[in-house]
Every structure is written in C-alpha cells, then in structure tokens.
Structure 1
Amino acid sequence: MAERHVLGISGGKDSAALAVFVRHHHPEVEVEYFFTDTGKELPEVYEFLGRLEGFLGKPILRLNPQRDFDFWLREYNHFLPSAQTRWCTRQLKLAPFEQWVRPMLAAGDTVVSYVAIRADEDYREGYTSKHKNLKVRLPFRESGVDKRGVMDILESSGVGIPKYYDWRSRSGCTFCFFQQKIEWVRLREQHPEAYEDAKTYEKNALEHGSPFTWSARESLTQLERPERVAQIIADFEKRKQRNRAATPINPLRPVRDFPEDIDDVYGVDEGGGSCIVCHK
C-alpha cells in the first residue's frame, strides 16, 4: 500500500497556481499531475499546459475519455449539455478521473487529491470523495491564498496566465455553456472554425428537440447577426465600466502589474455554478 498524490490541471489559472504552490511548499511530495482532455479544448489551453510542464519539470498526464463528446451526445438524444444537465462534466471529466484512480484505491493505496479552491471562495465545495481512501485537500484554503495570491504565484513563477484570458474568463471546452455572450462573440473572432462547429452541434440538437441552446434564450445563428454583435459589445463595455468603477483601489497596488483582473473585467459571478473541474 502506498500514498499517491494527484493534482488535476484544468487549463485555468487557479489549478496552475496550485501546482506551482505545492511544488514550492512541498517539494518532498511526488505529485502526479493530470489533465482530462475532452478533445474540445481551446488551442491556448494546450499551449499553457506545455508552459506549465516546463516549469514543473515533468509531464502532465492526459486522461482521455474512452468515449468522446459525440458518443455521449448521441447517448443523451443529441440534447446539448447545460447548467441543468452537466453530462459533459460528469462523463468527460469526472468519470475518467474516477477510472484512473480506481486501480490505486483497489490496491489499497491512499490517494490525496489537491483541489484549487481559494480562501476567498467559502461558497465552493470540492470533489466529494466516495471512497474512504480518497482524500481531498484544499491547500489554498488551508494557507489563506486568495485570488490576488493566485495571480502573484503565477507572476513570480514566470508561468503567467493562459492567453485566452485576453478574451475569455474561463477555461473549458470551446463551446462551454457557461460562456457569456461577449465570450461567444470573441470565440467567433478568435476561433471561427470552433464557433461554426458549435453552431453545427446546436442546429443538430434543436432538430432533435433539445430544449437548450449554447447561449441562453438565443441560438448562435441569432447571436452572430451584426446588429446583435454590436449590441452585445456595447452592453459589455457598459458593464465593464460599471465593474471598474465599483472596484476599490488597493493603495498598496495602485497600478496593476497583471492585465486587468479577469473577473473584474467580465463581471463573472464565480458562485454562479460553473464547473470547478473544468475551469479552475
């Protein structure tokens, strides 16, 4: 029997910072890093994983689901995943992780899983273990590391943040249903082929009677109309200005040494139910 230490990398800033944090503060621990690859990730995610591997000095194991998104889409009668039915997270993220650790647990090993929930996220809960030998640790919460602390860790390490934060507030699949409308507009600008793929999935789902579109209350075809795009951009700029005005200035940090805080710019409600395993 052994003790295994595992840390899931989502492609987002928090889990990357946690990997750096654990390496710095617990160099004696042999951590196995993993990334559950749905095959529908942003290209910027893969670039960032390579950068993080360079810092960690070891590869990040890719866990590929045995059955892909298209298989599960057919299983769910071509109904798109949504905030109400998150089958994508369940089948493409959680199930591969559970399959990976199952032989370890069956051998009697203790598996310690590190999860990147910050100290300022009291409302969040991590993965709930269903096995007595699978232990979940929250090092950021234990050590009082908040959002600013995460950014400091990434900056001081030289890892930085993923490039998609220039236009998007979270990692996850290209067509993640938690995207805001402005992020769909940006996806169309940055990766038009991915946007077209999402439109095809959506059209097929609607033809099969799916009650969901990727973006609430309108299809991607409706969203991409020039007048609608202009309205979305204008609404976003107004919201951005309101969020900036409402953000108190820290006298110890009067000048941002990172690009503007992602959540401040996008006005993301981090408690809104977004999937931890996908975007943290």
Structure 2
Amino acid sequence: MRHVCGISGGKDSSALAVYLRDRVPDLEYFFCDTGAELPETYEYLNRLEVVLGKPIVRINSERGFDHWFEVFRGTLPSPQMRWCTRQMKIKPLEEWLGSDEAVSYVAIRADEQNRKGYVSTKPNIRAVFPFIEDGIDHDGVMRILDDAGVGLPDYYEWRTRSGCYFCFYQRKAEWVGLAERHPELFERAVAIEQKVLTDAGENGDASYESRAMRGRHYTWSGGETLPDLIARREEILTRHASSMERARRTRRNLPLVEVLADALDDDDDSQACVVCAL
C-alpha cells in the first residue's frame, strides 16, 4: 500500500504535507509539474523539501502544453474545458501510481467541507481527508506553516492561488500582477492567446472583436484580450483596491492572503481549479 500526498504549491496542501510528516511512515510527496508554474512555486517547493526532510517527486506529463494545445485544436483551456488539469496533472498522477494500491491524502480543510478536490475514480486509489477528520481549519493551517518555519509562497503577495502562470482562473488584478512581476510570462500568455485569435480568423470565424467578446474559447480572461485588459490597468487596480478595502472592513485583522481571497471584483470568478489551488 502506497501513501501519497499531492502538493500544489498552495498553503493547504503544503500544510498537510508538514502535518503528515511524522504521522504517516513512508509517505511519498508529489507535485504535478506542468512546466508552466510560477517561479515562486518552484522556489517554495525547494523550501518545503528542507522542512519535510525528503524530496518532492516532480511528475511531468509526457507531453507538454504545446502538444495538448494542438490536440485540442488551438482551444484554450477554460472552466468549461479543463483539459490542462486532466492531461497535465490527473493523467500523469494516475500513470505514476499505476495499479498500485494507494491512499491519497487530500488537503481540504474542516471549514470548507463542501469544496471539491481531485478524487480519483480508479478503484486502487482511496482518498482520505485528514484536515476534515481532525477538525483543522484555516487558522490551523496557518499555525502549521508558521510552526514549521516555512511560511507562505511569495506569490501570495499578489495572487490568491497556485497554478500555471496563464491560469484562466486568475482575477483581472492578478493578470496585472503577472505583467508587472513576470513580464516575460505575461508576454508568453499573450502570444498563445493571439495565436488562437489569429487561427480563428484564418478559419473565417467572425471578426477579431467578435471573437474576443465571446469569452474564454478565444481569450484567457473572459470577454477581453490580455492587451485590452492591461490597457485598463489603472481601472482594474482601482476597482481591486476598493474590493480590498471592503474586505478589510468586513473582516478586520486579516492577513494579506485572506484579504486577497475575500477581495473579489465584480468581473472575476471565485472558483478555482480542483487540483491546482489547494
């Protein structure tokens, strides 16, 4: 029987990894690496390995984003078609485990029991939820990380979730943050988006403006292209600052990461990827 704990690079799964360190013998830690993660994520995994005292296995898809992008005929991944999650995280994980009997530890907290994380449908993989079973909530997660001395990933200064740099679940202000902190990654995301729009135009699929306004079949952020989004930088940041202030007034004395999580702008999504964001 194998015991495995997936780490996304987010606070909850990282806290679970630390929590289980001395509780589950021969525990295997893994990280499904798409090759498109934020630099802060890779740096945090290195810090976490020191605390855990063992390596975190990097599981890579045999084929990267560009391959699957072509397989899905140039369609961007979206909330309606999360082929990135399936092909670059879930499938490689299930191949890594093969037919081995395994217990998979999932980092859903006691205060979010209605949240859905990845649970394999393969009969040889059984999911367990230690934080729910032991009553560990958000404050408990933060204590685990603080006591271990690992803290939070640096991307929490401007982003609410782990995941690929081009994740379509990013909020508008987070796209602005990516452009400011990692301009080369933002430009890569722009290039992918422009290829989709260009290919659609060559196939006679309506005008550029019409394609962009249809939403995430053609653009990363619903209803507008990334160049259009960044042209609204000041407007987006002003609205985000207002949302942050509302969040602070509603729940005082919150750490920045929780203020960010609560500061949902009107044109943003609140849900997250079922695998990437724990």
**TM-score by shorter chain over 0.5:** yes
2:166 is aligned, of 172, 175, 187, to 175
1:215-230 alignment, distance < 5 Å: 215-225=221-231, 228-230=232-234
Could you say which residue in structure 1 is the equivalent of 2:246?
242
Residues 169 and 266 of structure 1 are in contact (CA less than 8 Å); yes or no, is this contact kept in structure 2? no
**In structure 2, what is the Cα distance between the partners aligned to 1:219 and 1:52?**
36
After TM superposition, the runs of 4+ consecutive aligned structure 1 residues lying more than 6 A away are none
Secondary structure, counterpart of 1:276 in structure 2: coil
Is 1:65 aligned to residue 56 of structure 2?
no
Deviation of 1:182 after TM superposition, in Å, equals 0.2
- TM-score normalised over the length of structure 2: 0.89
Cα distance change on mapping 1:260 and 1:205 into 2, 3 Å: closer
Could you say which residue in structure 1 is the equivalent of 2:91?
95
Cα distance change on mapping 1:234 and 1:206 into 2, 3 Å: same
Secondary structure, counterpart of 1:148 in structure 2: helix
Deviation of 1:261 after TM superposition, in Å, equals 2.2
Secondary structure, counterpart of 2:180 in structure 1: helix
**In structure 1, what is the Cα distance between the partners aligned to 2:116 and 2:36?**
26
Could you say which residue in structure 1 is the equivalent of 2:182?
191
Gapped regions of structure 2 (runs ≥ 5): 201-210, 212-216
Could you say which residue in structure 2 is the equivalent of 1:252?
none
1:77-116 alignment, distance < 5 Å: 77-104=73-100, 110-116=101-107
Cα deviation code 1:93-147 (max 9, x no counterpart): 100001111142xxxxx20000101111122123333233311011011111111
Of residues 193-202 and 259-268 in structure 1, the stretch that sits farther from structure 2 once superposed is 259-268
Cα distance change on mapping 1:176 and 1:260 into 2, 3 Å: closer
Could you say which residue in structure 2 is the equivalent of 1:148?
139
1:214 is aligned, of 201, 215, 220, to 220
Residues 11 and 171 of structure 1 are in contact (CA less than 8 Å); yes or no, is this contact kept in structure 2? yes
Secondary structure, counterpart of 1:34 in structure 2: strand
Is 1:266 aligned to residue 263 of structure 2?
yes
Give me the identity figure in percent: 48
Gapped regions of structure 1 (runs ≥ 5): 105-109, 250-254
Is 1:130 aligned to residue 121 of structure 2?
yes
Is 1:10 aligned to residue 21 of structure 2?
no
Deviation of 1:267 after TM superposition, in Å, equals 3.5
Cα distance change on mapping 1:50 and 1:217 into 2, 3 Å: same
1:205 is aligned, of 175, 179, 196, to 196
Could you say which residue in structure 1 is the equivalent of 2:203?
none
**In structure 2, what is the Cα distance between the partners aligned to 1:133 and 1:75?**
29
Secondary structure, counterpart of 1:112 in structure 2: strand
Deviation of 1:156 after TM superposition, in Å, equals 1.1
Please provide the CA RMSD for this pair: 1.9
Could you say which residue in structure 2 is the equivalent of 1:37?
33
Across the two proteins, how many residue pairs are aligned to each other?
261
